Structure 1
Amino acid sequence: MATRTYDNPVIPGFHPDPSICRVGEDYYLVCSSFEYVPGVPLFHSRDLVHWRQIGNVLDRPGQLELPEDLPASAGIYAPTLRYHDGRFHMITTNVAGGGTFLVHSERPEGPWSDPVWIDLPGIDPDLAWDDDGSCWCAVSGVRLARIDATTGKVLEGPVPVWSGTGMQHPEAPHLYRIGEWWYLMLAEGGTAHGHSVSVARARSPRGPFEPAPGNPVLSHRSTDLPVQCTGHADLVQAADGTWWMVLLGTRPRGYFPQFHVLGRETFLTPVEWVDGWPRVGPVAERHPAPAAWHPLEPEPVRDDFDTVALAPYWLSPRSRPDSSWSLTRRPGWLTLTATGDSLDRPGHTFVGRRQQHPDSRTAALLDAGRARAGLSVRLDEAHHYDLEVYDGTVSVHARIGPVRQRVAEHAVPPGPITLAVETRTGGVLPPTVTTTGQEAPGVRAGGPDTIAFSAESSEGDVRLAELDGRYLSTEVAGGFTGRVIGMYVTEGSAAYDWFDHGPQQVAPGIEPR
């Protein structure tokens, strides 16, 4: 019988800084959300491979309030999820204000409590409990404190315990009691190409900690492996006794220096214990699967907006006022109302999904009426491509740093219109027209992908533009997030009948890099 395998990443798209816990035969995982709301997406699995988002931990203003002028990639950093004494705990840091806090719930689906604030500097907080009930919180640095998880009071510390092997940014600490040892695992080298995972152990959480002889136990730096930036890991023991690691990684594409556009994604890799230390091989795009195999119903490609609440995978930058959206104003449609007049500034109305596939197709049926509305491929306010309908015209706009330009437009008749955005790895950019009116040949795209924009109305289908995807990448824009593709309105109100986002096959003759 052939060995069953799974494909990495197990949670594709902008889902960084994973933290995991097991309760019986169920696994739960959370990720960072930064400037987006709702905050801290929460996933469930029965086999570590198939994941389904079941909610968001921070799903109401009383738990998460982000200022309108919050910079991109600020907000909620690096949560840790743990289960102790019949209760789920999630601890994280709001770098926009307030600092470190934890919330708890009897059920993973919630409701989760209001924040319990903890007076600890740093980011990437962790939780671990001793046999006597003491709760330990480690933060970047790495410093350790004993806290009261109910009140948030710091009872002891923080004190430095182990700062890694000397590389920059020792962070993402996780403390585990395994057998007679306390293991401290952390990330080093920064979250880019130097990212790595190192481990130390001690007989007490207070130390002294002894570094693993083979540190770092995981790093893809200076390799040509397809998965890069591996780090910020968390360990979990499966129900059958095997050990696994979830971690973030990227999938860069294009020519040197390469670009990653989906953000940092969640990967899964097996762990072996050798002489009392975890051993982790390279994180591959395909691995032998865990013994348990329980496929879950996948996230739907299409949302017909026939429910009374938005699905948990929809997200918005900084806030989503009730006045900005409705599923009841026009049943079976999502109606969006403008709260700002430009995607170039915070405060606009935008509802989107993470781009989860390098080769993808996203489409929506829009009834714009007299509104200014459309689809946007977004990294932040200074880096986005927009497919917009307004006043009898569909157009494509590009915002790249300080430059904003309309790159294409086409007249369309009144009425609903289908807008589509396709991303394709590799390929050739289309021909251009020179100032003398002659057509210059297309050039091979050196970026990670090309992004094509099209529209279909009662008068037929029109392909408006193809743009280089490198300008919507982390390497160009900076930051910690990834592409989000979604619906927006910057003037008036518009309604969307459906929205879908899914993978598409690479066209023959185009080889992804």
Structure 2
Amino acid sequence: MSRLPNPLISGFNPDPSCIVVDGTYYLITSSFEYLPGIPIYRSTDFVTWEHIGNVVTREEQAGIAATPAGAGVWAPTIRHHDGLFHVIVCVAASPRGCVVFTARDPAGPWSEGVTIDGVSGIDPDLAWDESGTAYITYSDLELDGTVVVAHRGILQARADLVTGTLLETPRRLWSGTGLVAPEGPHLYRRDGHWYLLIAEGGTGWAHSVSIARGPGIEGPFEGAPGNPILRPSGTGAPVGCAGHADLVRGPDGQDLLVLLATRKAGSHSPLGRETYVTAVEWVDGWPQPAPVELDPRPEPLEEYFDFADDSALNDPGWLAVGRTPAEIASLGEWPGCLTVRATSGGLGAFRPDFIGRRQRHVASVFETRVDACDGRGGLGLRSDDDFTVALAAERAPSGAGTLVTARASLPTISQSWSVQVAGDEVLLRLETDHPLPGGPPWTGAGDRIRLIVVDEAGAETRLAELDGRFWAVETAAPFTGRVAGVFAEEGVVRFAHFRYHGEGGS
């Protein structure tokens, strides 16, 4: 197998599902409370991936306007059948429930979606038997918001995808080796057998992948003798929490597992759950995945969005919380600027006036030029409502110059640092970097977050340097990852550009 980068798709991209259609690969991931939802990545060589669109481009498709952080779009599955692309997902804490979206072109547009009545769990899979009958296989997890009430294992039922009805009472299937939280099921037909692949052990350090096989799509299924086939990697490994996998045939004919995993920078994992890949060998009719290795892409990544360009928000990587970016930010309202109006109370609000992009490298730079003469806002980083970092600019009390305040916010705790600089426009910069060298990872050090302002004369002031472990997956949002971007918390705030730099090899 040719060498593949790991992570395959970096940053907040958990729960991958992947298919190949006519030599082209399509991969989707979870998006939780963010919109647009369910990003779609495309590749022809399994190395270079292009973000071509999102399945959920309107709030009505997912119904997440009132869902809390950590709920929303969980663990979708993408499949192709009879010339039509299908994405099935259970939307946690939403009235939409289990939804099937369809499209002729995976870049979109996608349908409004059909809710499947009777599927109340999570992580649904979609498969068709030899006669073309659709089967939904899912994890019977009962939730109260994001709190687990009960877990009843893996269930399956035949379904009518047009009317949204189950054709039978769900049956219970093989549900793993006895580890907690059997979930993420996927079904495959291979060499006369049906294989049932699941995750178990929870999404933390005990995350595992197990598999069973049977004579038909309904089983009965018998577990592999070596389960779990992908075992917990331990807290000291550079790649951990590996699980929730999907199986696909790679470009050179070898099977691959795409899966979620986390990587450490010091003692914590700042980028959240990302998409990884590992090769699979088949021995005596059972898959044996290779260990998941860390091998970041060596090339740097540069993105620059000039807000004088009317197409600056067309890139599918822009995100907002519970609303679309277009509902929060506008181009052209002020010449050459992106305008954000404050309506909800700042970066830590339930639905902040904030649009951002995924942090995809441990060493990164986010940068924007802001004019906050008519309001207060700037550059922020969000893990969830309670874990945020912000650089907020506003007109100085004297009326001359700009007051910039750096804030680090955790539940019940917030610390700030302020400086007054010359000029009505300032450059705000948020840098992230590797932990300081020399200390062992168990000392608790995380990556570093630096908050910087540059005045109109080019003078740079570093307001704060933070320990990033407090905005990492182990401490803050357990399901998602960091998203950084621009926000308004009072009045009207205008932005001239937005830049992201990701350091190669990180």
Q: So what's the TM-score if we normalise by structure 1? A: 0.89
* Amino acid of the structure 1 residue aligned with 2:214: A
RMSD (Å) for aligned C-alpha atoms: 2.3
Distance in 1 between residues matched to 2:98 and 2:362, nearest whole Å? 34
How far apart are 1:62 and its partner, in Å? Answer: 2.7
* Amino acid of the structure 2 residue aligned with 1:350: F
C-alpha deviations, 1:178-217, integer Å up to 9, x for none?
1200000000000000000000000111111011111111
Contact 2:383-2:477 within 8 A present in 1 as well? no
Determine whether 1:386 maps to 2:390.
yes
Contact 1:324-1:339 within 8 A present in 2 as well? no
User: Which of 182, 189, 209 is the matching residue for 1:197?
Assistant: 209
Partner of 2:52: 54
Please identify, of 37-46 and 408-417, the stretch whose mean Cα deviation from structure 2 is larger. 408-417
C-alpha deviations, 1:297-356, integer Å up to 9, x for none?
997521223133431101011113755311222354321111212322213200001110
Any idea what SS the aligned residue of 2:122 has? coil
C-alpha deviations, 1:45-83, integer Å up to 9, x for none?
111121111111000133123234x32111111000001
User: Which of 368, 374, 380 is the matching residue for 1:376?
Assistant: 380
Contact 2:259-2:277 within 8 A present in 1 as well? yes
Contact 2:382-2:483 within 8 A present in 1 as well? yes
Q: So what's the TM-score if we normalise by structure 2? A: 0.90
User: Which of 39, 42, 45 is the matching residue for 2:43?
Assistant: 45
Distance in 2 between residues matched to 1:332 and 1:88, nearest whole Å? 39
How far apart are 1:448 and its partner, in Å? Answer: 1.8
Runs of 4+ more than 6 Å apart: none
Partner of 1:233: 245
Contact 1:22-1:28 within 8 A present in 2 as well? yes
Distance in 1 between residues matched to 2:177 and 2:158, nearest whole Å? 24
Distance 1:129 1:420, change over 3 A: same
Identity among equivalent positions (%) equals 43
Distance 1:331 1:96, change over 3 A: farther
Partner of 2:4: 6
User: Which of 325, 334, 339 is the matching residue for 2:338?
Assistant: 334
* Amino acid of the structure 1 residue aligned with 2:390: D
1:327-366 alignment, distance < 5 Å = 327-366=331-370
C-alpha deviations, 1:202-234, integer Å up to 9, x for none?
011111101111111112333633100000000
Unaligned runs of at least 5 residues, structure 1: 290-296, 430-443, 507-511
Partner of 2:85: 88
1:433-512 alignment, distance < 5 Å = 446-459=444-457, 460-504=459-503
Distance in 1 between residues matched to 2:355 and 2:347, nearest whole Å? 12
Unaligned runs of at least 5 residues, structure 2: 140-152, 396-401
Partner of 1:307: 310
Determine whether 1:100 maps to 2:98.
yes
Please identify, of 140-149 and 188-197, the stretch whose mean Cα deviation from structure 2 is larger. 140-149
Partner of 1:438: none
* Amino acid of the structure 2 residue aligned with 1:34: F
Any idea what SS the aligned residue of 1:351 has? strand
Contact 1:426-1:445 within 8 A present in 2 as well? no
* Amino acid of the structure 1 residue aligned with 2:265: R
Partner of 1:109: 107
Partner of 2:288: 279
User: Which of 142, 163, 173 is the matching residue for 2:154?
Assistant: 142
Distance in 2 between residues matched to 1:152 and 1:373, nearest whole Å? 44
Please identify, of 458-467 and 80-89, the stretch whose mean Cα deviation from structure 2 is larger. 458-467
How far apart are 1:4 and its partner, in Å? Answer: 5.4
Please identify, of 226-235 and 327-336, the stretch whose mean Cα deviation from structure 2 is larger. 327-336
* Amino acid of the structure 1 residue aligned with 2:355: V
Count of matched residue pairs: 479
* Amino acid of the structure 1 residue aligned with 2:424: G
How far apart are 1:450 and its partner, in Å? Answer: 1.2
Determine whether 1:261 maps to 2:289.
no
Partner of 2:150: none
Please identify, of 475-484 and 72-81, the stretch whose mean Cα deviation from structure 2 is larger. 475-484
Distance 1:239 1:477, change over 3 A: closer
Please identify, of 444-453 and 389-398, the stretch whose mean Cα deviation from structure 2 is larger. 444-453
How far apart are 1:405 and its partner, in Å? Answer: 2.2
Partner of 2:142: none
C-alpha deviations, 1:370-397, integer Å up to 9, x for none?
2101111111111111111012201111
Determine whether 1:65 maps to 2:77.
no
How far apart are 1:416 and its partner, in Å? Answer: 1.9
Determine whether 1:180 maps to 2:192.
yes
Determine whether 1:170 maps to 2:152.
no
Distance in 1 between residues matched to 2:336 and 2:238, nearest whole Å? 42
Partner of 1:31: 29
Distance in 1 between residues matched to 2:344 and 2:272, nearest whole Å? 26
Distance 1:344 1:277, change over 3 A: same
C-alpha deviations, 1:140-164, integer Å up to 9, x for none?
1211111112222101231001010
Distance 1:350 1:223, change over 3 A: closer
User: Which of 408, 425, 448 is the matching residue for 1:416?
Assistant: 425
* Amino acid of the structure 2 residue aligned with 1:45: S
